[in-house]
Structure 1
Amino acid sequence: MLKSKKAEVIEQLTTSFANTTAVVICDYKGLTVSQLEELRKAARAKDTSVQVVKNTLATIALNNAEMSGVEIKDTNIFIWSDDVINAAKIAADFAKDHDKFVIKAGYLDKEPANVAKIEAFAKLPGRDELLGMLAATWMAPITNLAVGIDALRRKKEEEA
């Protein structure tokens, strides 16, 4: 790879990593191209990026983005997103289905994260699910009031 191309890749990755809240580093050794495309497709559906990057270039980009503390070695694929839970879920779900795909480490809110922390975030409900739960909680009193008024109306109609 030419030095100018390396600089371009580092600059693009630095920008991407600096503007993201989660980076998950995984080992993909032994996966087929079609399996990696399956991962990319799942990630694209949730506005998440997936890329295989040389370790030296990724290390430089992460350091430039003020993320350090995780040693990067062997074969790695990087998954990053603005939504911490999405990045963790994509990696954890794909790891469940593919034995050769292993979560190594990552960064959550620019802090180093181990596998246990990433898997814990993967178990949390997503943003849309949380908003739905919040809306249901807010709507519960109104719903109960409407059900009560309707029951009262039916009772009055039966009495009349």
Structure 2
Amino acid sequence: MKKEEKSKIIEEISEKISKSKGLVLADFTRMTVAEVNELRRELKSAGVDYKVVKNTLLKIAMQNVGGYDGLFKYLEGPTAVAFGYDDPITPVRLIKKIKGKIEKPSVKAIFIEGQVYDGSKLDELANLPSKSDIIAGIIGSVIAPASGIVWTLNAVLSELVLVIDAIAKKLEEKGS
């Protein structure tokens, strides 16, 4: 591989790393072509990039971005990287889902928003709620009291209208 090709790959991987919120490093050996294609298809449909990268080039890209030193010890043997851009848990969940079907790839390490986890933590991390689930829970918690107030005010106003209506009917009966 020529120096220009290497620098182009390093630049591309550096850009992917800097945009991603979560990374999964995996060993893809012992996977058939069909299994790799299924993995790529599944990841791509969720907006996750999957790339096989030479460890030396990946390490240089991580050094360029900074903050990924904890992953260097996992850069041995064949390495593929899944880049999660929107939700850092998405690539973890998808790889767990794929592993349920084909028992591969083996996960070396997981990087989620600044934290490095060993690949053995895949199941635990895959069960974390997604960012959108957390946001929905927070919004629901904030809205619940407000909607309760609205329902209470509506009930009070309905009761007030009924009382005024009853008083008006009594006055009509007395006046007639």
Query: TM over 0.5: same fold?
Result: yes
Q: 2:83 aligns with which of 80, 88, 91?
A: 80
Q: Which residue of 1 aligns with 2:54?
A: 54
Greater C-alpha radius of gyration:
2
Task: State the AA in 2 paired with 1:36.
Answer: V
The alpha carbon displacement at 1:29 in A equals 1.1
Q: Which residue of 2 aligns with 1:36?
A: 36
In the alignment, does 2:119 pair up with 1:104?
Answer: no
CA RMSD of aligned residues (A): 2.9
Q: Which moved more, 1:97-106 or 1:141-150?
A: 141-150
Query: Does the 8 Å CA contact 2:89/2:112 hold for their aligned counterparts?
Result: no
The alpha carbon displacement at 1:93 in A equals 1.9
Q: Which residue of 2 aligns with 1:16?
A: 16
CA change 1:100–1:45 in 2 (3 A) is closer
Report the Cα distance in structure 2 between the residues aligned to 1:80 and 1:99, rounded to whole angstroms: 20
In the alignment, does 2:136 pair up with 1:132?
Answer: yes
The alpha carbon displacement at 1:110 in A equals 3.3
Higher helix fraction (1 or 2)? 2
Report the Cα distance in structure 1 between the residues aligned to 2:144 and 2:16, rounded to whole angstroms: 41
CA change 1:36–1:150 in 2 (3 A) is farther
Residues 79-112 of structure 1: per-residue CA shift (max 9 Å, x gap)? 1113211122122222222213111113222343
Normalised TM-score (structure 1): 0.78
Return 5+ residue gaps in structure 2 as ranges.
159-176
Q: Which moved more, 1:55-64 or 1:140-149?
A: 140-149
Residues 38-73 of structure 1: per-residue CA shift (max 9 Å, x gap)? 222222232211111112211221222211133311
Aligned length: 160
CA change 1:146–1:138 in 2 (3 A) is same
Report the Cα distance in structure 2 between the residues aligned to 1:92 and 1:24, rounded to whole angstroms: 11
Q: Which moved more, 1:42-51 or 1:141-150?
A: 141-150
Normalised TM-score (structure 2): 0.72
